[in-house]
Chain A
Amino acid sequence: KQEVTQIPAALSVPEGENLVLNCSFTDSAIYNLQWFRQDPGKGLTSLLLIQSSQREQTSGRLNASLDKSSGRSTLYIAASQPGDSATYLCAVQLYNFNKFYFGSGTKLNVKP
């Protein structure tokens, strides 16, 4: 069974710092990997999707990379802002499309 791990579980940084969130998965036979953001008491917001044939995707201050062979993905956030404070989750999707495996998330706090 695919297992997804996110480290660290929580992270607190001062505003303006660049930071990296990590996601690792045990089975490299994935179809896609997706990063989400979740604000307290809310649903998940899609940030970036990386297809298995891609190495990275960028959206604004966010950059996500994927290394299938090592079972790792990173989410890089540039020039962090207090509004970035949220829980970030990664999820991997298998080739049968009908299941996503989620990590437990990294809770990010960006201090003004």
Chain B
Amino acid sequence: DVKVTQSSRYLVKRTGEKVFLECVQDMDHENMFWYRQDPGLGLRLIYFSYDVKMKEKGDIPEGYSVSREKKERFSLILESASTNQTSMYLCASSPTGQANTEAFFGQGTRLTVV
């Protein structure tokens, strides 16, 4: 069974903390994504990576950075957490260059910044 696993379901962090959200996939997918989901705003792409050490900004990269040192792992970093980063964070992966490019999502991390 294919799987995308996010390290935490719930996190509570203080303003100004450096926060790491981890995502691991076991499908050998080239592409990995980080989205945030907020009521009324839908899913918004923060960053994506199409290969190891490669990354591109999505629609809302401000305040975030990412790291992809290994193909299976994609980390989202909040350099200095702020209350407006309280959200549901979703990681996804998908293959590339094939007919079937089905994307799979993790279970989500609900982050609260206080």
Contacts and interface: CB of A to CB of B under 8 A. Distances in A.
Contact of B31 (A31, A44, A51, A98): A98
Contacts of B110: 41
B105 A44 contact: yes
Contact of B101 (A32, A41, A44, A102): A32
Interface of B: 4, 6, 31, 33, 42-43, 45, 48, 50, 56, 58, 88, 90, 92, 94, 96-97, 99-108, 110
A98 B102 contact: no
A99 interface: yes
Contacts of B4: 43
Interface in A74-112: 89, 91, 93, 97-100, 102-105
B35 to A, nearest CB: 8
Given A34-B102, A43-B90, A102-B43, A97 B108 contact: no
Interface of A: 31-32, 34, 36, 41-46, 49, 51, 53, 89, 91, 93, 97-100, 102-105
B36 to A, nearest CB: 12
A65 to B, nearest CB: 17
Instruction: Find the residue from A34, A51, A100 having the highest chain B CB count within 10 A.
Output: A100
A41 B105 contact: no
A33 B99 CA distance: 12
